[in-house]
Structure 1
Amino acid sequence: MLTLISLLSILPAALSAPLSIFGQNIGPSTGSDSANGTPTPVSLATVNSTLLRPAQFARVAYCGTSEIESWNCGAPCEALKNITFLQAGGDQGAIPLYYIAHDADEQQLVVAHEGTDPVKFLSILNDAQFGLVPLNSSRFPEAANTDIQVHDGFQQTFERTADGLLAGVKAGLASTGVSKIAVTGHSLGAALASMTGAMIIDAVDPSVQVTVTTFGMPRGGNQAFADFLDSKVGLTFVTNQHDPVTIVPPKALGFQHSSGEIHIVDDTQQNLVACPGQDNVNCATGNSLIEFDIVNHLGPYFDDVTFGSQECAGGIFGQGSR
C-alpha cells in the first residue's frame, strides 16, 4: 500500500451500460440503478466464457507491432488460436498502438487498444491532460448541443487514429463477412476503447453486434458521457481490487464512470461481482486514494492474465517496432 503523495508521483506511469459482454447480459443494465446497490456474484463460468477472451486480446496490444503482425508475441499470442492479423496503427509512443484482427473461432472482428506502459514515456503524457472538453460532435452528431464532456487527453489520443481505425474495421467487415465486433483495451487503452465502440456503432450497419469490454479503465468523462455510454454502448469494464487508476480522474473534478462494472474482490482471481449503477461505492469507487495497490492495475485479473510489455516475447526491451 502507498500514500496519496506517492500516488500522485507515480500514477501517470500506471495510466496508460449494460453488462453486455460479447452479446451476453450478466447484470444490471442501467445507470439509473442505485450507486450503492448490493453487488452480485459473477460465476467463473461466465468469466471464462465472456471476460477471458477480451482480456487476452487486450494483453496482446502491449506487444511489438511486428510481433502482432506475425501473431508471434509469446504467451499472449499463444493463448489465442485461429487469429488473422488485419491492421495496426500508432507508433507505441505519442500515438498508442491499436490492432484489428479476425477471430475465426468466434467469427468476429477484434479491435484492441494498447494501454500506457511505464516504459513508454510519450504515451504517459497523453494521460496528463485532465480537463473536460466537449465530445467531438462532428464525429458523434448526437453530442451536438448537449453537455457531454470527455477527458481532453483521451479524446486527443483517440482522434489520432480514429479515421484509419474505422476504415480498417469497415474493410475487415467486408473481407471477412462477420457481423460481430469486439472492442477491448486496458488502462488508457480502455478509455480509448469506450470511444472507439461508440464510433463504430454509429458507423456500421445496425445488424452488426458491437461489444466493448475493458480492464483497469480510468473515468473518461462527465455524468452526461457516462449516460451516453450506458444508452449507446453498454460498456462492461473490469476493475481489480485496489487499483487506483480506476478511480481517477476524481468525481470531485466532474468525472463519472458509466454502468457495467465487474469488480475483482481479492487476489484469488475467483471472486468477482457485478456492480449495479454508476460508480458503485461497494466496488472500485469505494476504494481509498490513501491506501491502494498499484500492482492491481497490471494484474493478475483472472486465469493469470497480467497486462504490460513484460508479458510479450520481447519483454520490456527490444519488442518489435518498440
Structure 2
Amino acid sequence: MKKQILRQLSPVFLLLACCFSAFSQGKIEHVILIGSDGFGAYAFEKAKVPNLRKLMENGSWTLQARTVLPSSSAPNWASMVMGAGPELHGYTKWGSQSPDLPARVLDEYGMFPTVYGLLRKEKPKSEIGVIYEWDGIGYLFPKKAVNKDQNCDGDIALTKAATSYIKDKKPNFLFIHLHDVDSVGHNAGHGTPEYIAAIERTDAHIGTIIKSIEEAGMMEKTVIIFSADHGGINKGHGAITMQEMQIPWIIAGPGIRKNNEIKESVMTFDTAATIAAIFRLKQPQVWIGRPVTNAFK
C-alpha cells in the first residue's frame, strides 16, 4: 500500500523538485498567463496561428483540456486562478460578480483562495498584474493583492498596455485576458471565417506580447501559459458539446519539455495548481487542481 501511494505521489514530487531546482538556479522568476475568451481548441484545425504553434514547438501542449461546467466565462476564468470548480469557489454563471453559492473557504481578502493571494502572501514583494478586456474579470481576483489592475477597451489597447507593463515592471505574475474571439463568436458565429480571422488577430497579439517579454530581457526566466475559458458552437456557449468544452492549454519556458503533446487529462483549474508549483506556493487544501507534471522535464 505504501509503495502504491508513493507511486501516485511521485510525479508531483518530481515536478516540485524540478521547480525548486529551477528557482534555486534563478531560472524562473516570471509567469505570464495569457487567456483568450471563447478560443475553442477546434480552431487550430483551420486557423493560421504561427505564434501559438511556435509556443507548442518550444513547450508542452494539449488541445483536449476541458472547461468546468457550465462552459461560460466567470465560472472558468475563476477556476483557472482559483484551483477548483464552481462547486467550491461559487461562481456559477456567465457574468457572476460574486459567488452565487457560498465559497467553501475564504482567504484574508474575503475571497476563495486565488493564485494572486497565495503569491502575495508567500512572496510579498512580487509584482502582480491583471490586464483584461472583459470587465467581468475584475470581479474574479482580490484587488488588494495586485499591483496592476487595468480594464482595457479592445484587444489592441490591451496588447499595448500589457507590453508596456511587461517592459516597465517585469511582473512576476501577469494575467492577460483577450476578448476579440468571443465577441466575434457571438456576433458572427463560432467556426465562421470571421471567427477564424479573430483567432489569427489574437495570435498576432500574442506574438507582440511574447516579443515584449524578449525585449524586456525576461525570456530566459519566464514561463508562458496560454489557455481559454471555453469554446463555442453556433453563436453561443455554456452547454456540453466538445466544441464548447475543449480548450487549448500550452506552456513553454525554462524546465518545460519541448514539442511535447500532453496525453493526460488537463482541466482548467490545473492551471492554478501548475502556477503555484512553479512559484513553490503552498496549495490550499480546498483546491482540487493538480500540477500538469507531464509538461516538465
Q: What TM-score results when the alignment is normalised by the length of structure 2?
A: 0.28
Higher RCO (Cα < 8 Å, 6 or more apart): 2
* Greater per-residue helix proportion: 2
| TM-score, structure 1 as length reference | 0.27
